[in-house]
Amino acid sequence: SDMKFICLTLLFVILLSFSFTEQYKVVGPADPVFAVASEDVILPCSVKPNISVFRSDLYEDHEDRNTIQIQSYRGRTKLIHQELQRGNASLKLSSVQVSDEGRYKCFIQSKSWYDDTTVNVRVEAVGRPPVITVDGFDHSGGLHLQCESEGWYPEPDLQWLDSEGISLSSETTEKHRNTDRFSVKHTITVYERDSKIHCRVKLRHHMLETLINTSNIWKQTLLITLSAFTMIPINNNCHYLCYVLICKAEFSIFFAVNVILDADMAHSHLIVSDDGKQVRNGNRKQKGVDEQKDRFDQHLGVLGKDGFSSGCFYFEVQVKGQTEWYLGVTRASVSRKGWIRLSPMNGYWTVTLRDGGYWAYESYHVSLSLSVNPQRVGVFVDYEKGLVSFYDVESIYHIYSYTDQSFDEKLYPFVCLGEGYYSWNTNSIPLIICDDY
């Protein structure tokens, strides 16, 4: 790089009025001096052994005489005159600029002796904190993230890190230089929905980092993703769900509701947890059950305590480990006695796992072809639009939708562990209402 000779009137060229012996030496730093843009920096230079390097005719009225100084340095340089008495000729450079980067020479001479040293100044400009934006999903279910930061010098490194601190590979990289500053932009696709992703931009001595919780992003964009990529045919408009969610209160975390199961409505063999969040089959009549209540007596079913008669609502149920289940919503007035076909005609909108296969019930059985077995099922209802949709939350997959339905009374969440008309499900693994949206 180019050597910068700064004529600053006794800043880097210091004349001595006496003679040195050869034992004296001008000393500077062995390593580069790193300066931060807009801050001040000291450029070290001294005589060893220490001896005064002050001469009075170059110091007037306590100010440096710098009339021949380079214009860009005017008003930004200062010698510490008390230190000159101790052989310290270090220079303070204020309001550092990127253009100040380079090599500087500190030159000291007397009538019979001279020596010099070079100070290598490296400038770092700290840019703006990185900004992570979500660029949507691809057809394989990957979440596209973009991280961008500007205002850095020199060109910084940008890294993606997972929640364990392991570096992730960027897929595309862009960099731009605007005058003396750099901006960087990297993209990545992630498939893990329950981790935190960090975007880190760093120089040798400085680092800024931004965190995004991808689990929240997956939950908040699940339905939009499905409507955009699985093309659900609703009212001849495959983007219906996207439209609904965009227009509804910034998603409101999917219109999630707090579902609490009503033990008074549960089949007498079912055990509902004290908090109303789990139900399992006890495989025999539970003690103290009031048979006079309007319980299910054939289906191993239970309702939520609260019903909904307007707007949108959403809840999730963990079905992991269960071999037979029914999930969905039902009308308040449905019969809970005897064997019932759990279809819209009878006031039930459900999907089911039974005999190793997945089904929906319209006026006929609808076989559902699922690529993976759902571990958690989401149920979304738009009351006014007559829509009930089911999703595999883990794999981001649309299971089934009932469309163009007509609702005229409250709808209640409904979960069921099977029915005993033909066979009896003895699997005691619970169905769990999920709250970790």
Interatomic CA distance for residues 409 and 421, integer angstroms: 28
Measured at the alpha carbon of residue 281, what is the angle toward residues 275 and 285, in degrees to the nearest 5? 100
**Domain over 22-124 is classified CATH 2.60.40.10:** yes
CA 328 – CA 411 distance, rounded (Å): 10
Counting as low any pLDDT under 70, the low residues of the chain are 1-22, 52-67, 137-141, 192-194, 216-254, 288, 290-292, 420-423, 437
In this prediction, residue 291 carries a pLDDT of: 66
Q: Where are the beta strands (DSSP E) in 87-206?
A: 91-93, 102-109, 114-124, 131-137, 143-152, 157-161, 167-168, 172-178, 181-190, 196-202
Whether 33 contacts 100, CB under 8 Å = no
Q: β-strands 411-419, 312-318: how paired?
A: unpaired
- CA-CA distance, 376 to 392, in Å (whole number)? 6
- Closest of 226, 241, 276 to residue 381, by C-alpha: 241
Entry pTM: 0.48
Query: What are the φ and ψ backbone dihedral angles of 404, each rounded to 5 degrees?
Result: 55, 35
The DSSP secondary-structure symbol of 190 reads E
Query: Which tokens in the block code for residue 196?
Result: 């935190």
Q: Which residues contact 411 (CB under 8 A, 6 or more apart)?
A: 307, 308, 309, 329, 330, 331, 332, 381, 383
DSSP 145-170: EEEEEEEEBSPPEEEEE-TTS-EE--
Output b/e per residue, 269-283; b: 16+ Cβ within 10 A.
bbebeeebbebbbee
**Gap between the Cα atoms of 195 and 188, Å rounded:** 14
Q: How far apart are CA 296 and CA 430, in angstroms?
A: 18
Neighbours of 360 (CB within 10 A): 23
Residue in this structure with the two tokens 């209802």, named with its chain if needed: 381
What pairs with residue 314 in β-bridges?
256, 380
Fold of 131-217: Immunoglobulin-like (2.60.40)
How many Cα atoms sit within 13 Å of 134 on the Cβ side?
18
What is the pLDDT, as a whole number, of residue 255?
A: 76
The DSSP code sequence of 238-283 is TTHHHHHHHTSGGGHHHHB----B-GGGS-TTEEE-TTSSEEEE-S
The total number of residues shown for the chain amounts to 437
User: Residue 388 pairs with which residues in a beta bridge?
Assistant: 381, 402
Q: In this predicted structure, what is the pLDDT of residue 276?
A: 93
DSSP summary character for residue 353: E
Confidence (pLDDT) at 231 = 35
Architecture field, domain 255-434: Sandwich (2.60)
Give, in order, the Cα–Cα distances in Å from 146 to each of 126, 149, 164, 194. 20, 10, 20, 18
For residues 140 and 371, give the distance between their C-alpha atoms in angstroms, rounded to a whole number.
Answer: 13
- DSSP letter (8 states) at residue 129: P
Strand pairing class (397-402; 387-392): antiparallel
Q: Could you give the residue range(s) of every CATH 2.60.120.920 domain in the chain?
A: 255-434
Q: Could you give the CA distance from residue 53 to residue 405 in angstroms, rounded to a whole number?
A: 94
Neighbours of 326 (CB within 10 A): 23
Domain with CATH 2.60.40.10 in the chain: 22-124, 131-217
